[in-house]
Amino acid sequence: MATPGAGSRPPTIADVATAAGVSRTTVSHALNGLGKVDPRTRERIKVIAAELGYRPNLRAQRLRRGEAKAIALASSMPFAVAAGPSRLGFYMEIAAAAAESALLHGYALVLVPPVQSGSGLHSVDIDGALVVEPDVNDVAVAHLKERGLPYVALGRPVSPDEAAPYIDLRGELVAELLLAHLHEQGARRPALIIGSGERHAAVDARAAYERLAAEHGWTPIVATAPEAGGEEAGYESCAELLARHPGIDAVCALVDAFAVGAVRAIKDSGRAVPDDIMVVTRYDGLRARTCEPPLTAVDLHLDRAAADAVELLLGQLRGDVTTGAVVTSPAPRVIPRASSLRVTPRA
C-alpha cells in the first residue's frame, strides 16, 4: 500500500478513506467507536490507518466534543507543608500516581500551584479536578464550583454542606495507629501538633487524640501551627510546648514539616530524640526518611488513593458516579524508625 513519502504532509482522514474505499464519516466512526460500522470494516479501517501512519487530531476531537481531556490536581495547602523546598513530598507523590492513571484513560494532568484568591484555576482548560485535602470553605473548591466543574476530594471534605465524592484517607485511624505506637514505646505524656486549619487530617487526629487521652488518662496537650510556616512553625510550636509542659515525653506532629521542626526544637532544648522525647509524623515522605533521626511515619498508600481518585472523577464525567460517593483507601501502616524506638520502653 502506498504511503506518503518522507517529508510529505501527514496522512489525513481523507487519505484513509480513499485507501479503504469508504467515506470519511465511516472512517471517523470506525476509529472513534461511533455509529453502526460493520465490525470487519471497522477492523480493516484501523489496519489501513495504522499502515498509513495516520494519527487523529486530538485537538479537533476535543473541540468537537467540548472536552479538554485534562483534569487538574489542586489544593489550597501551601507548598511549605505539601512539598517543601525540594518540591518533593505529599502533593507530588499524589501527582505522579494521578498523572499515570489519567494518561491511561487519555487525560492529561494539570498541576495547579497552591490555590489562593485570584488563582489561575479560574482559566485553566480542564474537565474536572482532584482537590487534595480541602479545608473548610476551601478556595480551590470555591473556584471549581464557580465554573460548574466536578471534583473529587482526596481526604474527607470538612465543610458541612459538602457532598462531593471523596477518597477516605482514614485520618482518625492514622492518628490512632501513631498514638498506639507511642504508647507501646512507653509514652505517657504525648502532645499533638496539628495545622491551624480544619482539614480532615487535623480534625480527625484531634478527635482520636482526645479519645485516647481519656482512655489512657493522658492530660490533653494540643498545639496548632500555621501551615504556611512549614518547619519553622513546627519548631516554634514545639519549643513553646516544651516550655509550658516540660514533662512531655512524645510529640505526634501530624505534618511532616512540623515534625522536622519539632526534632530541632527538642535538640535545642538539650533533650534527645527518642530517649527523652519521641517524635512521629503522618506522611512517610522524603522529610521523614532524611530527618536525623529518621521519623516514624505512616504508609498512606497515596499511589492507590490517587489512582482511585482519578477513577472516581472520570466516573463523574461519564455520569456513572453520584455525589457523596466514597472510596476507602487501604489500611494505613506505621513504619517505625529511630525517632520513636526505645530499647526499653519507659514504665
Distance CA 103, CA 29 (A): 23
Predicted confidence at residue 28, as pLDDT, reads 80
Residue 266 — pLDDT band, cuts 50, 70, 90? Answer: very high
Residue 231 — pLDDT band, cuts 50, 70, 90? Answer: very high
Cell of 170: 482514614
Predicted confidence at residue 320, as pLDDT, reads 81
Residue 5 — pLDDT band, cuts 50, 70, 90? Answer: very low
Distance CA 181, CA 92 (A): 27
Cell of 250: 512524645
Mean per-residue pLDDT for 172-191? 96
Q: Was domain 13-56 assigned CATH 2.60.40.1120?
A: no
Domains 13-56 and 171-299 share a fold: no
- pLDDT tens digit string along 48-93? 988 888 876 655 555 455 566 999 998 887 766 655 555 557 888 8
pTM for this model (two decimals) = 0.79
Residue 250 — pLDDT band, cuts 50, 70, 90? Answer: very high
Cβ of 294: how many Cβ atoms within 10 Å?
16
Report which secondary-structure segment, H or E, holds 254: none
Architecture category of domain 70-169+302-328 in CATH: 3-Layer(aba) Sandwich (3.40)
Work out the mean pLDDT of the chain and round it to a whole number. 87
Q: Where are the domains of the chain?
A: 13-56, 70-169+302-328, 171-299
Cβ of 194: how many Cβ atoms within 10 Å?
27
Mean per-residue pLDDT for 282-298? 95
Residue 124 — pLDDT band, cuts 50, 70, 90? Answer: confident
Distance CA 253, CA 237 (A): 10
Residue scoring higher pLDDT (161 or 138): 138
Q: How far from chain centre, in Å, is Cα 229?
A: 20
DSSP character string of 65-105? HT---EEEEE-SS-HHHHTTTTT-SHHHHHHHHHHHHHHHT
Architecture category of domain 171-299 in CATH: 3-Layer(aba) Sandwich (3.40)
